[in-house]
Amino acid sequence: ELYIRSSPPFKGYLNDPEKTAIFLDSSGWYKADDFCKINSAGHLEVLGRVSDVMQISGNKITPSFIEAYVKRHPDVMEVVVFAIKDQSHADDVPCAAVVRVDGSTLTEESLREFIKRELNITEDAKFTENVYVPRHIVFLNDLPRTSTGKSDRKAVKNMCLPKT
């Protein structure tokens, strides 16, 4: 997780002490909510948001990892992966919202099979399949966007969840 401290120091969000308390610790470190690693070239690589990380069978999985495999399919134009809670236990379940290229007849099952091939998942590797292959796939015509033009993961998740 990325923490940042600068000079002059960040003192908090204007008129928002609750948000400040969440993101700024007592030593002045700002919690960026970014999940990162140092890559082989020694550069900081942002993998995703900490708040989006999924907990599946004891593994922390970033949506971007699964998205990278889904995007390899030639019929996938865009994808957003998000988690829902499994009702039978506390694990997250990976789900994907996919925008297909025009004219595509890509199905959930054929996309799942493609991802399994890309990850070299065999029949005896159900554990790996449960962690990395979206259990639910929803096809959308387009994805909702934030004001900065990025796909809005929370809005996508809300669109895909069953209405109660």
3-47 and 53-160 agree in CATH topology: no
Window from 27-41, 46-60, 71-85, 138-152 with minimum mean pLDDT: 46-60
**Residue whose C-alpha is closest to residue 48's, from 62, 58, 38:** 62
pLDDT the model gives residue 108 = 96
Is the pLDDT assigned to residue 164 strictly greater than 50? no
Identify the band that residue 49 occupies on the pLDDT scale cut at 50, 70 and 90: confident
- Return the SS3 of 40: coil
pLDDT in tens, 57-86: 888 888 988 999 999 999 999 999 999 887
Is the pLDDT assigned to residue 162 strictly greater than 70? no
Order of strands across the sheet that contains 92-100: 76-85, 92-100, 136-140
CB 108 within 8 A of CB 128: no
Annotated domain spans of the chain: 3-47, 53-160
Tell the CATH topology of 53-160: GMP Synthetase; Chain A, domain 3 (3.30.300)
Identify the band that residue 87 occupies on the pLDDT scale cut at 50, 70 and 90: confident
The arrangement of secondary structure in 3-47, i.e. its CATH architecture, is Roll (2.30)
More confident call, 88 vs 13: 13
Per the DSSP assignment, residues forming a β-bridge with 80 are 97
pLDDT the model gives residue 100 = 97
Q: From CA 29, how far away is CA 89, in angstroms rounded?
A: 35
pLDDT in tens, 103-145: 999 999 999 999 999 988 776 666 677 788 999 999 999 999 9
